[in-house]
Structures are given as C-alpha cells and as structure tokens.
Copies of this chain bind each other. A is one copy, B any other.
C-alpha cells in the first residue's frame, strides 16, 4: 500500500471513528454529515471525497465493527477449549464489543429502517454469519454432551438478545464493573445451557 493509499485509509478510518462517536451521541438519524465533519475539523463536503453518501459511511461503520467481531469470534471457535469455556469466552467477547461500540453495534437492530435495499441483504447476511458462530459453539457443546438444549437457535437468540441489551443499561460509572458483568452473564448462560 502506497503512502497515499495509507493516508486515505487512515482518513477513512478517522471519519468512521468520528461517525461512530456522533452516532453514539445523537443516534444515527440525528447524526448529520455536518456533525461528523465538525468533529474532524473538516467541512461536510470533504466527507464526500471519501464516501459516496451518508449511508455508505453508516454501512462502513457497521461493517468495520462487525468484521472485527467476527474475526475474534471465529478465532475463539477454533481454539482448543471445552464448549463451556468457549461459550464463556464468546459471551465475554461479545459483551465487550457491545459495550465498547454501543451505538454503532446497535445499528444492527433495525437495518430495514436505516439501509437501502442495496446494502440490506449484505448486512443481514453478515449479521447472520456472526450469529451462526454461536450456533456452531452450541451445536458442538451439545454433541460433546456438555450442553443440553431443547432448541439451539432459540438458545442463541436468548444469549445474543440479552447481551445486546447490556448496552442499554451498562455504564462505566455504574455499580457493576465490566468484568463482573461478563462473569455473571457467562455464569447464567452456562447454567441455562448445561
């Protein structure tokens, strides 16, 4: 990658970071191009040099985080661990991301209202891919006899639902430390899957 390409890539990242920030503060619909640019001391016109339109920024934001999450999760799946430990690690990792990326991660919730038809399929597919890693961990656990579940998919929904929800109430200043939350969540879910 040439110097220039790296500069562009860096700038794009900056923009996505700024966008994430603004979205976190105001929500997607209230995040204006102006806001995103101002955060970077640019003018909104400049954003269009790097991204085609607002949706592309949003999409990239989302993609960036989800891709990274997927990578981590896939790595966990590949590790040589008991299913219990794998799930524990997966839950903790997911919680970690959901808390750190709060709003952007939250975009996953209603893609139909935020993305145009061009992107929506890919979005949903990626989301499903991510979810399927949890399915695989559960399936593995069941096969190994570590887990007993009446419906695997539903179990995954419960786990992901509950962990996604954490961003609604979690605050770094709150009574619970992040690590504590992760431990308890993992404990409960393992009990549920046992």
Contacts and interface: CB of A to CB of B under 8 A. Distances in A.
Interface of A: 26-27, 29-30, 106, 109-110, 113, 149-151, 154-155, 157-166, 168-169, 176, 181, 184-185, 187-189, 191-192
Contacts of A109: 106, 109, 168
A168 B111 CA distance: 10
Contact of A113 (B26, B164, B169, B188): B26
Given A154-B188, A188-B154, A113 B161 contact: no
Give how many copies assemble into the complex.
Answer: 4
A63 to B, nearest CB: 19
B154 A160 contact: no
Nearest to A184: B154
A132 to B, nearest CB: 13
A184 B151 contact: yes
A67 to B, nearest CB: 20
